[in-house]
């Protein structure tokens, strides 16, 4: 059985939990407590030189990092149901929307970045919240103009790579006080996702390390 | 013929130029001047709701955004030479290393982020340079512990997705004063890349909108 090193509130871990659920793949979950800094210990940096979560450890000990790269692996190793279409243009669109979240929103509110703006730029709670909400809203404004208006999910009739990224980012958006009513298309995709068992099982509050 | 909307110094545009060169695909290059804010004009947001570069416009008018999603499209549409291996684990590793750059370094020093820390956190040139250099060095430290020590390129004997990301990021690192001598493995991959015509043609200073 594979092992997923993650944290209940890490949105990158949450993406991988969703994909595992969609694929129906069971893994052993090992929590790495971000709040207590366990990701900075040598035990974790041996798993991932970046010291980030998640890490997927295969049965033979091979370790994979970066949530989107793990999703790509899962889609190759467990092709059904597919979370990336074969069509080159549709693939590219879904990947682009995923990267709006995974590149242009999420890393800018990574814990290490928030620590930096506290220590080096003198930002306190309000400044940190404003910063995070700003980048989430900016990315969501772009996403709201993307997608296919005729499909139940963002570009498709079944959840894909993008939905694995969107749902955790909306969870984070609410934590940072982003007004989600401004993003009806994203909310409608979220509603379609939350009806599915894979998304329910992956919810942060359903993880055993929660709270 | 396809059209690439880009900017000579945009590292995401530079990634796509390299991939096009590796694939031997000619495109029409249309510069969007980031320094003069042309990316913020409605003309450009009609091409990409994010207002970012690059945008690849196909012959039928379809527009693709996000450099890694464009690379993925190019690898599907022009499969030879491949820039992503078929092996699921190697693919995932190459994608993970690419994402260290494309998610965890590059977006944190995006022009819009640098503007924010100037206007909202009161950072001046020195603070902006320190910020950018910090995230580049942090990412490069992780990358230096990744890769395959036995191959000429990072994980392979021919340049892949990752090399399209690495070379532009090293170009940027030098602009921000990062001491590249700390990263011998990355430098050795860069040297192997710079010997190839695709990388030479893609150099920022070889673009007609340079300077």
* Residues paired with A4 in a beta bridge: A29, A56
Interface test with A, best of B91, B95, B123, B183 (most A CBs within 10 A): B95
Q: B211 falls in which pLDDT band (50, 70, 90)? A: confident
Contacts by residues A127-132 (CB-CB < 8 Å, ≥ 24 positions apart): A127/B120, A127/B121, A129/A176, A129/A177, A130/B120, A131/B116, A131/B120, A132/A108, A132/A172, A132/A176
Q: A40 falls in which pLDDT band (50, 70, 90)? A: confident
* Residues paired with B27 in a beta bridge: B2
| A chain contacts of residue B139, beta-carbon cutoff 8 Å | 50
What does the pLDDT average to over B3-31? 97
Q: What is the pLDDT of residues A80-122, one digit of tens each?
A: 999 999 999 999 999 999 999 999 999 999 999 999 999 999 9
Question: So what's the ipTM on this one?
Answer: 0.96
What does the pLDDT average to over B34-44? 89
Residue B49 has pLDDT above 90, yes or no: yes
Report yes or no: B88 at the A interface, CB cutoff 8 Å.
yes
Q: DSSP code of B204?
A: G
Of A35-44, A78-87, B119-128, give the lowest mean pLDDT range.
Answer: A35-44
At the topology level of CATH, where does B2-81 sit?
Answer: Glutaredoxin (3.40.30)
Residue B125 has pLDDT above 90, yes or no: yes
Report yes or no: B167 at the A interface, CB cutoff 8 Å.
no
pLDDT value for B40: 87
| A chain contacts of residue B131, beta-carbon cutoff 8 Å | 116, 120
> What span, in angstroms and rounded, lies between the C-alpha atoms of A109 and A119?
15
Residue B35 has pLDDT above 90, yes or no: no
Report yes or no: B99 at the A interface, CB cutoff 8 Å.
yes
| B chain contacts of residue A143, beta-carbon cutoff 8 Å | 49
Interface test with B, best of A47, A55, A96 (most B CBs within 10 A): A96
Residue A170 has pLDDT above 90, yes or no: yes
How many A×B Cβ pairs under 8 Å? 134
pTM of the complete model: 0.97
pLDDT value for A90: 98
* Inter-chain touch B102–A104, beta carbons under 8 Å: no
Residue A8 has pLDDT above 90, yes or no: yes
Residue A26 has pLDDT above 90, yes or no: yes
Alpha-carbon distance values, A126 to A36, A130, B70, B118 (Å)? 22, 6, 37, 17
Report yes or no: B186 at the A interface, CB cutoff 8 Å.
no
Cα of B176 to nearest chain A Cα, Å: 18
Q: B199 falls in which pLDDT band (50, 70, 90)? A: very high
> What span, in angstroms and rounded, lies between the C-alpha atoms of A114 and A125?
10
Interface of B with A in 9-48 (CB under 8 A): none
* Inter-chain touch B142–A112, beta carbons under 8 Å: no
> Which of B50, B72, B92 faces A100 most closely, judged by CB atoms?
B50
Alpha helices (H) along chain B: 11-23, 42-45, 67-77, 88-102, 111-119, 125-144, 161-175, 184-194, 197-202
Report yes or no: A115 at the B interface, CB cutoff 8 Å.
no
Cα of A100 to nearest chain B Cα, Å: 8
Cα of B97 to nearest chain A Cα, Å: 8
Note the CATH architecture for domain A88-199. Up-down Bundle (1.20)
pLDDT value for A35: 87
Q: What is the pLDDT of residues B144-177, one digit of tens each?
A: 999 999 999 999 999 999 999 999 999 999 999 9
Alpha-carbon distance values, A39 to A33, A44, A49, A164 (Å)? 7, 5, 10, 23
Residue with tokens 């980048």: A135
What angle is formed at CA A167 by the lines to CA A113 and CA A197, rounded to 5 degrees?
140
Report yes or no: A91 at the B interface, CB cutoff 8 Å.
yes
- Residue A183: phi and psi, rounded to 5, are -125, 65
Q: DSSP code of B47?
A: T
Average model confidence (pLDDT) for chain A?
96
Locate the chain B residue with the closest alpha carbon to A130: B120
Question: What token pair was written down for B188?
Answer: 């050795």
* Inter-chain touch A102–B99, beta carbons under 8 Å: yes
> Which of A72, A107, A134 faces B104 most closely, judged by CB atoms?
A107
Report yes or no: B107 at the A interface, CB cutoff 8 Å.
yes
Report yes or no: B103 at the A interface, CB cutoff 8 Å.
yes
User: Contact, B88 vs A100, CB < 8 A?
Assistant: no
**Cα dihedral A89, A95, A98, A104 sign:** negative
Q: What DSSP line would sit under chain A, residue for residue?
A: -EEEEE-TT-HHHHHHHHHHHHHT--EEEEE--TTTTGGGSHHHHTT-TT--S-EEE-TTS-EEESHHHHHHHHHHHS-SS-SS-SSHHHHHHHHHHHHHHHTTTGGGG-HHHHHHHHHTT---HHHHHHHHHHHHHHHHHHHHTSS-TTSSSSSSSS--HHHHHHHHHHHHHHHTT--GGG-HHHHHHHHHHHTSHHHHHH-GGGSTT--
Domain segments of chain A as ranges:
2-81, 88-199
Q: What is the pLDDT of residues B90-101, one digit of tens each?
A: 999 999 999 999
Question: What token pair was written down for A193?
Answer: 């996702």
Cα of B62 to nearest chain A Cα, Å: 9
Tell me whether the CATH fold assigned to A2-81 matches the one assigned to A88-199.
no
> Which of A72, A104, A122 faces B95 most closely, judged by CB atoms?
A72
> Which of B88, B107, B113 faces A73 most closely, judged by CB atoms?
B88
> What span, in angstroms and rounded, lies between the C-alpha atoms of A167 and A186?
9
């Amino acid at each position: 059985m594979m092992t997923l090193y993650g944290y209940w509130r890490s949105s990158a871990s949450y993406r991988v939990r969703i994909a595992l659920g969609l694929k129906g793949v069971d893994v052993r979950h090992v929590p790495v407590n971000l709040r207590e800094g366990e990701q900075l210990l040598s035990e974790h940096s041996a798993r991932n030189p970046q010291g980030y979560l998640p890490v997927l450890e295969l049965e033979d000990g091979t370790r994979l990092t970066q949530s989107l790269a793990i999703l790509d692996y899962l889609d190759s190793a467990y092709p059904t149901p597919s979370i990336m279409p074969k069509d080159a243009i549709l693939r590219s669109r879904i990947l682009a929307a995923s990267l709006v979240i995974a590149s242009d929103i999420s890393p800018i509110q990574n814990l290490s970045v928030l620590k930096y703006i506290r220590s080096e730029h003198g930002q306190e709670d309000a400044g940190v919240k404003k910063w995070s909400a700003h980048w989430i809203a900016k990315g969501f404004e772009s996403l709201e103009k993307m997608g296919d208006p005729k499909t139940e999910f963002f570009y498709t009739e079944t959840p894909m790579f993008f939905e694995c990224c969107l749902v955790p980012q909306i969870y984070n958006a609410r934590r940072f006080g982003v007004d989600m009513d401004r993003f009806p298309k994203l909310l409608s995709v979220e509603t379609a996702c939350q009806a599915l068992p894979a998304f329910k099982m992956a919810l942060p509050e359903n993880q055993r390390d929660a709270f």
